[in-house]
Amino acid sequence: MLEKGINWEYRHVDMLKAETRTPQHREIHPFGKVPILDVVDDRGETVLRIRESRAIGRYIAIAFPGKGNDLMPDMSDADAMAAFEEAASMEISYFSTEAWRYSADIIIKPILGIPRVDKQTLQEIWNGLSDAMKVMDGILSSRKYLAGSGFTLVDIWAMPWMSLLIDLKGEAGVLFSGLPHLRQWWERVILRPAWQEAYKLMNEAYEVMRQNYPV
């Protein structure tokens, strides 16, 4: 939404307090998850509710074609759409999902008191994640962004996880060691004004979590 310049209002749901598991929340998301986007009319009444981050992203990209930056290819361009969907599928299947498994074990499980995986299993998760980043580096050796020549939702979906992995590894130089094209991509995308604003919001949320849930 920051890339599109769309007005929006954020409402916090504390997952660590199981607020997503309440009957009230399950009425708006039957699987007890976030995010959820409510599209409202001029009277503030919900006219459309969309669940799941990638569905929300695609909706925003398609519903506001004349605002801000284009985040998907022209849907009439079959070749560009195929490249976009391929990149989107690979990003969630091999990168974001593994990044979630890795970071959740280190950050979330201690907060919730859930037993962590053993060191060997964590290393195996990291090895799979490392392999995915090597593939991404290879892809970026011949294109500017993950889905082609233009910045898209695929880059947006990967960026928060990449930022978190940098934090966990201590610095970008460690994470991107031996991955020059991935590092160049990262240095390019973090200059975007929308990311800089989103990064501030992410840090504010992380700070609240650290204060409320010290480990």
Show pLDDT as tens, one digit a residue, over the chain (215 residues).
Answer: 999 999 899 888 888 788 999 999 999 999 999 999 999 999 999 999 999 999 999 999 999 988 999 999 999 999 999 999 999 999 999 999 999 999 999 988 988 889 999 999 999 999 999 999 999 999 999 999 999 999 999 999 999 999 999 999 999 999 999 999 999 999 999 999 999 999 998 888 777 777 776 65
- The per-residue pLDDT for 106 is 94
pLDDT at 195 (0 to 100):
95
* Residue 39: φ, ψ to 5°: -95, 125
How far is 183 from 168, CA to CA, in rounded Å? 16
Query: What is the reported pLDDT for 15?
Result: 82
Return the domain boundaries, the chain. 1-71, 78-212
Nearest to 202 by CA among 210, 129, 126: 210
- Per the listing, tokens 């200059």 go with 191
The pLDDT score that the predictor gives to residue 214 is: 63
pLDDT, position 13: 87
> How big is the CA angle at 85 (ends 123 and 122), to the nearest 5 degrees?
5
Give the CATH number of domain 78-212; options: 3.90.930.12, 1.20.1050.10, 1.10.3720.10, 2.30.140.10: 1.20.1050.10
Architecture of the structural domain at 1-71: 3-Layer(aba) Sandwich (3.40)
